[in-house]
């Protein structure tokens, strides 16, 4: 295993023998083996451990174990404790996503602050297999079938060559201690479901499924390389850059094989996604003036071209509101002032909000694809695109809609509807009046 480990990180050029490395370590089998291999290979490394405080005493046990292991290996030890559940609530995300965001952000801080060249994680071949299978069922392009990359920025994954069984054999042969995360044995997380149920069931029919998947991943990588080369060739042929616009000729696009895949790859750098492909391909036969928006760009049908333009270049901007007062924007003026709850009105050009829930600065900006809010009177969130559809807004009307935002929460869809989370209630003590003045 040691020889394979050294050969793999050298062949993949993951790091050099003199590089300072930071090894992400949970205390489980994979990371324990990675630390032992780094020590046996004579690498210069430190250990970093995150206590996510999700499993009570077991989380503290894991932290203590990793600290003792670092002392035994005589390498520096870094640790941190996160209130992961609170972070997940604050950012309205799942616990697993929250833990991933927290740990990688912290790893990078430790790396840059202490002069480490790279961060090592213990992802192995079976992790790779699970990821590809999950991506396939979730929905992905060819790149999603190439699996976990050995290199991602400053992150290096030197165990991707090894199967889980080989790591367990190494652990037993070297009599290494480890801690078991009981959550890995449960099926309530998506990865655990595929690991503990889906793949074992498939193995009953195709016993070599895991090895076959690894061979497939290698083939998918080659296909992805060839695909990217062809996309680069087509990009030179199909995309014309003129000032702040990119033009794609519709007649040539219609003659291009696999046009959906080509369009997705050409437009992905501008923020367009696979879910928008039906709308994008319809533009090829639509009338001039029809368009599709990404979070940053607009794709417009103009006679015989599809034209990509930065939304900022079509009059969009973001205005920072530091305090009460009045600001001008492309549609008119927005005025924020103190008011009394007794003066409430049903005028859509005015919104009364609980001032104690508002924190400056606010953002006044054009709406974008993916925006959502909780329309006044509703307890469920609604995408603005759906809200506009229900309101039967024209393309021109939608293009002129702006929102007032605070900490990534929409307070008011200006001139249409305020967010229920900021409404005035019988318990409200202070009120802001937001007025849209055309």
Q: Where do the domains of the chain lie?
A: 2-212, 239-313, 319-437
**What is the per-residue pLDDT across 216-227, written as a single tens digit (0 to 9) for each?**
999 999 999 999
Rounded CA separation 130/190 (Å): 10
Per-residue confidence (pLDDT) for residue 314, from 0 to 100: 53
Q: Tell me the average pLDDT of the chain.
A: 91
Give the mean model confidence (pLDDT) for residues 8-33: 96
What does the angle CA 37 – CA 42 – CA 45 come to, to the nearest 5 degrees?
75
Per-residue confidence (pLDDT) for residue 291, from 0 to 100: 85
Q: Which of 392, 399, 401 is nearest to 373 (CA)?
A: 401
Helices (H) and strands (E) in the chain, counts: 15, 22
Q: Per mean pLDDT, which range of 35-49, 179-193, 304-318, 384-398 is the poorest?
A: 179-193
Band of residue 108 on the pLDDT scale cut at 50, 70, 90 = very high
Instruction: For the chain, give the percent of residues with pLDDT over 90.
Output: 76
- In terms of DSSP H, where are the helices of 239-273? 250-254, 259-267
Per-residue confidence (pLDDT) for residue 329, from 0 to 100: 85
pLDDT(140) > 90: no
Per-residue confidence (pLDDT) for residue 192, from 0 to 100: 87
pLDDT(289) > 90: no
Per-residue confidence (pLDDT) for residue 313, from 0 to 100: 53
Q: Of the ranges 31-35, 191-195, 359-363, which is most confident?
A: 31-35
3-state secondary structure of 318: coil
Q: Of the ranges 186-195, 387-396, 425-434, which is most confident?
A: 425-434
Band of residue 3 on the pLDDT scale cut at 50, 70, 90 = very high
H/E element holding 108?
helix 95-114
Band of residue 181 on the pLDDT scale cut at 50, 70, 90 = low
21 in Cβ contact with 44 (< 8 Å): yes
Peptide bond into 306 cis (omega under 30): no
**What is the per-residue pLDDT across 314-372, written as a single tens digit (0 to 9) for each?**
545 688 898 999 998 878 899 999 997 656 677 889 999 999 999 999 999 999 999 99
Which carries the bigger pLDDT value, residue 181 or residue 85? Answer: 85
Q: Treating both helix axes as pointing N-terminal to C-terminal, what angle do 29-40 and 57-73 enclose, rounded to 10 degrees?
A: 10
Per-residue confidence (pLDDT) for residue 188, from 0 to 100: 53
- CB hemisphere CA count around 351 (13 angstroms): 26
Q: Which of 248, 235, 239 is nearest to 303 (CA)?
A: 248
Give how far Cα 167 sits from Cα of 67, 177, 215, 267, 407, Å.
Answer: 21, 13, 20, 42, 44
Per-residue confidence (pLDDT) for residue 185, from 0 to 100: 47
310 in Cβ contact with 296 (< 8 Å): yes
Which carries the bigger pLDDT value, residue 412 or residue 301? Answer: 412
Q: Facing residues of 120 across strands?
A: 23, 156
Q: Which of 121, 101, 100, 104 is nearest to 22 (CA)?
A: 121
Give how far Cα 277 sits from Cα of 140, 280, 291, Å.
Answer: 13, 5, 12
DSSP state of 379: S
Q: Which pair of structure tokens corresponds to residue 289? A: 């003036």
Give the mean model confidence (pLDDT) for residues 78-102: 92
Q: Top-level CATH class of 2-212?
A: alpha beta
Instruction: For the chain, give the percent of residues with pLDDT over 70.
Output: 95
Give the mean model confidence (pLDDT) for residues 188-213: 91
H/E element holding 48?
strand 44-51
pLDDT(263) > 70: yes
Per-residue confidence (pLDDT) for residue 342, from 0 to 100: 59
**What is the per-residue pLDDT across 44-65, written as a single tens digit (0 to 9) for each?**
999 999 999 998 899 999 999 9
Q: Per mean pLDDT, which range of 184-193, 206-215, 319-328 is the poorest?
A: 184-193
Q: What CATH number has the domain spanning 319-437?
A: 3.50.40.10
84 in Cβ contact with 95 (< 8 Å): yes
Tell me, yes or no, if the pTM score tops 0.85: no
Q: Top-level CATH class of 239-313?
A: alpha beta
């Amino acid at each position: 295993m040691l020889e394979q480990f050294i050969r793999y990180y050298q062949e993949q050029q993951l790091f050099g023998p003199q590089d300072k490395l930071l090894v992400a370590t949970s205390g489980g089998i994979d990371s324990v083996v990675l630390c032992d291999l780094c020590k046996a290979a004579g690498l210069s490394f430190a250990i970093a451990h995150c206590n996510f405080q999700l499993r009570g005493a077991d989380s503290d046990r894991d932290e203590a174990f990793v600290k003792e292991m670092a002392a035994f290996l005589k390498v520096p030890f870094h640790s941190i404790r996160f209130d992961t559940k609170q972070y997940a609530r604050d950012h309205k995300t799942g616990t697993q996503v929250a833990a991933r965001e927290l740990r990688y952000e912290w790893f990078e801080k430790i790396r840059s602050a202490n002069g480490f060249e790279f961060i090592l994680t213990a992802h192995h071949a079976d992790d790779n297999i699970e990821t590809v299978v999950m991506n396939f069922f979730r929905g992905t392009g060819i790149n999603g079938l190439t699996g976990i990359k050995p290199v991602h920025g400053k992150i290096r994954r030197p165990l991707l060559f090894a199967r889980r069984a080989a790591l367990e054999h190494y652990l037993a042969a070297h009599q290494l201690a480890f801690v078991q995360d009981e959550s890995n044995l449960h099926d309530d997380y998506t990865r655990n479901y595929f690991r503990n149920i889906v793949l074992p069931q498939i193995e009953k029919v195709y016993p070599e499924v895991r090895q076959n998947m690894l061979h497939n991943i290698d083939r998918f990588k080659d296909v992805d390389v060839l695909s990217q080369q062809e996309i680069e060739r087509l990009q030179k042929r199909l995309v014309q850059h003129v000032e702040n616009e990119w033009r794609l000729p519709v007649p040539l696009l219609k003659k291009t094989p696999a046009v959906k895949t080509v369009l997705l790859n050409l437009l992905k750098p501008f923020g367009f996604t696979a879910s928008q492909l039906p709308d994008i391909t319809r533009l090829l036969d639509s009338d001039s003036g029809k368009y599709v928006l990404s979070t940053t760009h607009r794709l417009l049908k103009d006679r015989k071209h599809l034209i990509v333009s930065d939304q900022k270049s079509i009059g969009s901007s973001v205005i920072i509101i530091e305090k009460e007062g009045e600001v001008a924007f492309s549609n008119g003026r927005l005025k924020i002032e103190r008011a009394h709850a007794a003066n409430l009105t049903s005028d859509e050009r005015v919104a009364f909000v609980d001032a104690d829930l508002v924190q400056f600065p606010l953002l006044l900006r054009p709406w974008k694809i993916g925006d959502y809010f909780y329309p006044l009177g509703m307890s469920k969130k609604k995408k603005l695109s759906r809200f506009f559809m229900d309101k039967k807004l024209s393309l021109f009307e939608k293009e002129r809609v702006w929102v007032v935002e605070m900490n990534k929460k929409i307070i008011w869809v200006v001139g249409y509807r305020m967010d229920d989370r900021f409404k005035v209630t019988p318990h409200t003590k202070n009120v802001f009046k937001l007025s849209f003045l055309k």
